[in-house]
Amino acid sequence: MARTAIVTGGSRGIGAAISIALKAAGYNVAANYAGNDEAAKKFTAETGIKTYKWSVADYDACVAGVKQVEAELGPVDILVNNAGITRDAMFHKMTPQQWKEVIDTNLSGVFNMSHPVWGGMRDRKFGRIITISSINGQKGQAGQVNYSSAKAGDIGFTKALAQEGARAGITVNVIAPGYIATEMVKAIDEKVLNERIIPQIPVGRLGEPEEIARCVVFLASDEAGFITGSTISANGGQYFA
Ligand code: NDP
Number of the ligand 1 atom closest to the C-alpha atom of 151:
34
Å from CA of 71 to ligand 1 middle: 26
Pocket test for ligand 1, best of 180, 183, 205 (most atoms within 8 A of CB): 180
> 200: Cβ–Cβ under 8 A, 6 or more apart, which residues?
238
pLDDT in tens, 95-128: 999 999 999 999 999 999 999 999 999 999 999 9
- CATH of 4-233 given 2.40.50.140, 3.50.40.10, 3.40.640.10, 3.40.50.720: 3.40.50.720
Å from CA of 202 to ligand 1 middle: 25
For residue 225, give the DSSP letter. Answer: T
The whole model's pTM is what?
0.98
Residue 147 annotated in active site: yes
Q: By CB neighbour count within 10 A (0-12 exposed, 13-18 middle, 19+ buried), where does 82 fall?
A: buried
Q: Please give the Cα distance from 82 to 85 (Å, whole number).
A: 10
Confidence of residue 165 (pLDDT cuts 50, 70, 90): very high
Residue count (the chain): 241
Q: Please give the Cα distance from 233 to 33 (Å, whole number).
A: 25
Å from CA of 9 to ligand 1 middle: 6
Count of H-run helices and E-run strands, the chain: 10, 7
Number of the ligand 1 atom closest to the C-alpha atom of 13:
25
3-state secondary structure of 78: strand
What does the pLDDT read at residue 185?
Answer: 85
Site residues for ligand 1, CB cut-off 6 Å: 8-9, 11-15, 32-36, 39, 55-57, 82-85, 105, 132, 134, 177, 179-180, 182-185
Q: Say yes or no: ipTM exceeds 0.95.
A: yes
Q: Annotated catalytic residue: which of 33, 52, 147, 179?
A: 147
What are the sequence ranges of the domains in the chain? 4-233
